[in-house]
Structure 1
Amino acid sequence: MMYDDYEFLKVEPGDDRVLRITMNRPEKLNASGEVGHGEQGRIWREFDDDPDMNVALITGAGRAFSAGGDIDAGNGPAEVDTRDGRALVRNMIACRKPIVSAINGVAVGGGLAIALLADISIASERAVLMDGHVKLGIAAGDHAALVWPLSIGLARSKYHLLMCDRITGKEAAEIGLVGKCVPHEELMATAEDAAQRLARGPQFAIQATKAALNDWYLQNIAIFEHSLYMEAHSLTLPDAAAGIAAVRGKTEPVFPGAVGSHRY
């Protein structure tokens, strides 16, 4: 199978049956615009249909995994369209084959969704994970309401999703948000070893185990749909406009909703 039509993603099929995927916009910390956001959802269906690939390994170019959406490149508050976000989450869950994420730096937004929805998630000690939706006046959609409580429990999920605290790779491993944390210089070797071991393994057993475990997501998929709707709706409100304006102006946001307008 050819992967020549990707722009944001660098996709490299290997003779070892590992599909290596790199989010390749290092000058923007691998933030995805409209094109990149679409590719982040589409790749998992094509990988799943590729008879020559057993495992996917995804990382980011440069010093970031992915800084999420690029609000200046077609992935901001004017684009209230849930299709790409839905495709990313649902296609990763539906993908029969295992996915390994090598979280080499900051992981936010849709990039964080990929990092955490991977079946084997390995973080560098330099990694920083954060769901910053609420900090921007946006409801936490994407994946968080579905994935985080199953990984770290409801209390910790509420704390981190409402407070928008940064989580180091080491902390993420300690609380169970990622599978493992390693020194930065060992990250890619560790991720490669995991991918190659899976690629050489019994494929039916691996895929069947993944499918059974992902039933936890499928049994709770209505939670994801609810959060996705709330995220899209919140993007139409003044709080989101204030949050985005603050990011662009590099200032602290002043949210109109803080004084009582647009309550849930």
Structure 2
Amino acid sequence: MTSSDFRCLRLDRDGDVLRVTIDHPDSKINAVDDDLHHDLTALFRHLKQVDDARAILLTGSKGVFSVGGDFDWFKTLDSPRRVFDLHRDAKQMIWDLLDVQLPIVAAVNGHAMGLAANLALFCDVIFMGESALIADPHVKAGIVAGDGGTAIWPMTIGPARAKEYLLTGDPLTARDAERLGLINHAVPDDELDEAAMAFAKRLAAGAPMAVQYTKLAVNKLIKEALSVSFDAATGYEMVTMLSEDHGEAIESFLNRRPPEFTGR
């Protein structure tokens, strides 16, 4: 597996650490579209088979992790078949991520929104630059939080706080995310990469089987939460993606005006 296998991801090695960088060539903010969604789905499937590294570092390029779904792309998800295929891949992506045996350190080097936020939170240890924001703003797009956020946010910060942020889509600063226990470490922007890589190398230096099997054992708890909520949340999301309110959210965003939701 090399960078040539992907269009929107860059792979590099630093000793025993495999660095994966989200780097969409057509988006300065690494927005998720068909190309990036496809690459992320393939990435975690392939990472399950990596045996020549001992840890993974996941980060973004251009000073941003990923802002989540591209609103122009949302407009193309206009049929039950398109929506079904998208969520089939999204489910596989999350479950494959949790089945990656190597420890994954996230270095959130800029805004992480929607799917990107949840991918970071499903990593094993999360570092975040102080200027970055993290949020799951699905509701602002008129759709249900269907990328695993309904499982991982309550697990990390509790149901009440999770609902506060999932029902509003409000962002958290790195320091607030650290204070609430959503992430592990908030660090100065210019120290982020070094700190995250140092921790990844520390994990890579550990006894591989002990580290990997301990991770997989903990991830069974996360899988249990996903089993409870993921299919329900994605099913509801599939319905709302075809709703008038979702269309209104897209049009209001693209035309820079407040949305007027009707519940249809």
TM-score range for the pair, normalised by the shorter chain length: over 0.9
Structure 1 residues 1-264: aligned runs within 5 Å: 1-14=1-14, 16-25=15-24, 27-73=27-73, 77-78=77-78, 79-80=82-83, 81-220=86-225, 221-257=227-263, 261=264
Pairs aligned (count): 257
Query: Is contact 2:3-2:9 (8 Å) kept?
Result: no
1:108 deviation in Å? 0.5
1:109 deviation in Å? 1.3
1:3 deviation in Å? 4.1
Aligned-CA RMSD value: 1.6
Which SS does the other structure have where 2:150 is aligned? helix
Gaps of 5+ in 2: none
- What is the one-letter code of the residue matched to 2:258? E
Change (3 A) 1:222 1:75: farther
1:168 deviation in Å? 0.2
1:76 deviation in Å? 5.3
CA distance in 2, matches of 1:75, 1:56: 34
Query: Is contact 1:9-1:24 (8 Å) kept?
Result: yes
Query: Is contact 1:34-1:75 (8 Å) kept?
Result: no
Query: Is contact 1:71-1:77 (8 Å) kept?
Result: no
Query: Is contact 1:23-1:30 (8 Å) kept?
Result: yes
Work out the percentage of aligned pairs sharing the same amino acid. 33
Query: Is contact 1:55-1:195 (8 Å) kept?
Result: yes
Change (3 A) 1:198 1:225: same
Gaps of 5+ in 1: none
Report Cα offsets for 1:228-257 as digits up to 9, x if no partner: 111111101111111111111111111121
Query: Is contact 1:69-1:75 (8 Å) kept?
Result: no
- What is the one-letter code of the residue matched to 2:260? V
CA distance in 1, matches of 2:76, 2:57: 28
CA distance in 2, matches of 1:55, 1:228: 30
1:72 deviation in Å? 2.4
More deviation in 26-35 or 219-228?
Answer: 26-35
Change (3 A) 1:186 1:203: same
Which SS does the other structure have where 1:209 is aligned? helix
CA distance in 2, matches of 1:154, 1:222: 14
